[in-house]
């Protein structure tokens, strides 16, 4: 496809992408939007101009403060909207209404695109699970159930925030090394976790599992996801029921939801699964994606350093397997629910998706461009996750999700 709109070759937002989000315009109006190149298509104005057919229902749909109602109409409906936009962008000449419908991306503010209902975090990278296991269980790094099922836990949706939201250093109970009694303190081991998340677009009925062959029909699209983690709080609390305060203080998402349709060219074969999964987790075809990922750290008043580069193709369990397992007991899902992959680590040390692994539990400090090192995050550090997929001249990106660490609240009584 070629377009009359000038789009930089390295733009995440090509006409092959056209993800969906919610924006606030320069005059304070809230509307659904689609980024393309250095612009955003205002979907309310596009609907009012008749770009999608009947004006009034589309205007009402796209002036909602979240995308939930739009997503709930299904992937076929979203596919039709993207196709209409692509046809508009590939006209022989610039349409007369282009200046009216296009907003400069630098002049709008992306907002939280979803009203997130339930949120589940998986643990689907075998490299990450093995690395963490080696630190705490050298003789038995991968627990017996890990190769049989996608491990996950139910997280907190209320503390999921949009790109650019500062992250307050959390407090909690920590057991100092060699101590028998915990202390109450701000975390000294604040970490990022590089993840991807998928958005549920089609509800299922309570008591009715989603067959794995139909799982992707329930997935609307993907977001970048940073599952901030307080490792010292997590280490003390996670036995016997798993993650709690060490995880639920904040998670960050990117603002643009990239559809599975846009990612079709980047489907790839996943890792060989041994032993073979149980029948309900077996599926034919390629259900992994070749998406490049990176993480950078920028200290306060310092330059940015890329500390990790990896790829979603390393995930052991696919999204389809995650969702099939999530619902096999009859758990229902609803549009706007979010499912995160867990930390995505690759096979090489520079492809590990968390500081816990990169600095190997504090034993191997990571050098930054300003001459400092990190084992865990310091106040003032800004962490940025980026992702894109490319095949020939087709590029589909996610933009970024970024957050700056703020000092913790003062302790009680001070």
* Active site residues per annotation: 128
Q: In the structure encoding, which two tokens stand for residue 166, read together?
A: 């500062």
> Max Cα separation, the chain?
73
Quote the CA–CA distance of 238 and 278 in Å, as a whole number. 28
Decide: 356 and 362 in contact? Cβ < 8 Å.
Answer: no
Quote the CA–CA distance of 24 and 29 in Å, as a whole number. 5
Instruction: Report the SS3 class of residue 169.
Output: coil
Instruction: Report the SS3 class of residue 312.
Output: helix
Decide: 129 and 145 in contact? Cβ < 8 Å.
Answer: no
Question: Which pairing describes strands 258-259 and 338-340: parallel, antiparallel, or unpaired?
Answer: unpaired
Contacts of 26 (CB under 8 A, 6+ apart): 103, 107, 108
The CA angle 211-216-221, to the nearest 5 degrees, is 150
Question: Which pairing describes strands 167-168 and 394-406: parallel, antiparallel, or unpaired?
Answer: parallel
Residue in 157, 155, 309, 328 with CA at minimum distance from that of residue 247:
155
Burial (Cβ within 10 Å: 0-12, 13-18, ≥19) of residue 386: buried
Instruction: Report the SS3 class of residue 307.
Output: strand
Quote the CA–CA distance of 172 and 188 in Å, as a whole number. 11
DSSP 315-367: -SS-HHHHHHHHHTTS----TT-EEE------SSGGG-SBHHHHTGGGTSPEE
């Amino acid at each position: 496809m070629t377009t009359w709109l000038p789009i930089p070759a390295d733009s995440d937002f090509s006409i092959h992408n056209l993800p969906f989000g919610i924006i606030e315009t320069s005059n304070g109006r809230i509307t659904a939007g689609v980024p393309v190149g250095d612009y955003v298509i205002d979907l309310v104005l596009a609907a009012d101009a008749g770009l999608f057919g009947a004006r009034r229902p589309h205007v009402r749909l796209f002036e909602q403060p979240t995308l939930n109602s739009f997503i709930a109409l299904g992937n076929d409906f979203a596919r039709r909207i993207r196709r209409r936009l692509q046809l508009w962008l590939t006209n022989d000449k610039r349409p007369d209404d282009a200046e009216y419908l296009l907003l400069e991306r630098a002049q709008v503010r992306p907002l939280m695109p979803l009203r997130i209902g339930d949120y589940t975090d998986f643990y689907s990278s075998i490299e990450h699970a093995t690395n963490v296991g080696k630190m705490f269980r050298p003789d038995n790094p991968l627990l017996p159930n890990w190769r049989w099922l996608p491990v996950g836990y139910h997280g907190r949706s209320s503390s999921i925030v949009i790109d650019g939201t500062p992250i307050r250093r959390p407090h909690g109970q920590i057991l100092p090394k060699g101590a028998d009694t915990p202390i109450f303190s701000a975390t000294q081991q604040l970490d990022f976790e590089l993840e991807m998340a998928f958005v549920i677009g089609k509800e299922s009925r309570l008591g009715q599992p989603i067959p794995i062959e139909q799982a992707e029909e329930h997935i609307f699209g993907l977001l970048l996801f940073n599952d901030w983690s307080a490792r010292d709080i997590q280490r003390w609390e996670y036995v016997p029921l798993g993650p709690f305060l060490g995880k639920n203080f904040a998670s960050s998402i990117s603002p643009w939801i990239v559809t599975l349709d846009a990612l079709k060219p980047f489907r790839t074969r996943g890792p060989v699964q041994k032993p073979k999964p149980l029948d309900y987790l077996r599926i034919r075809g390629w259900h992994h994606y070749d998406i490049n990922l990176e993480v950078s750290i920028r200290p306060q008043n310092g330059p940015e350093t890329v500390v990790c580069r990896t790829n979603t193709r390393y995930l052991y369990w696919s999204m389809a397997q995650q969702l099939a397992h999530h619902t096999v007991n009859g758990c229902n899902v609803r549009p706007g629910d979010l499912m995160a992959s867990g930390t995505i680590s690759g096979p090489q040390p520079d492809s590990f998706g968390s500081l816990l692994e990169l600095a190997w539990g504090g034993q191997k400090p990571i050098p930054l461009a300003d001459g400092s090192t990190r084992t865990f995050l310091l106040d003032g550090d800004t962490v940025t996750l980026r992702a894109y997929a490319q095949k020939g001249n087709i590029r589909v990106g996610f933009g970024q999700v970024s957050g700056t660490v703020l000092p913790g609240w003062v302790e009680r009584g001070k």
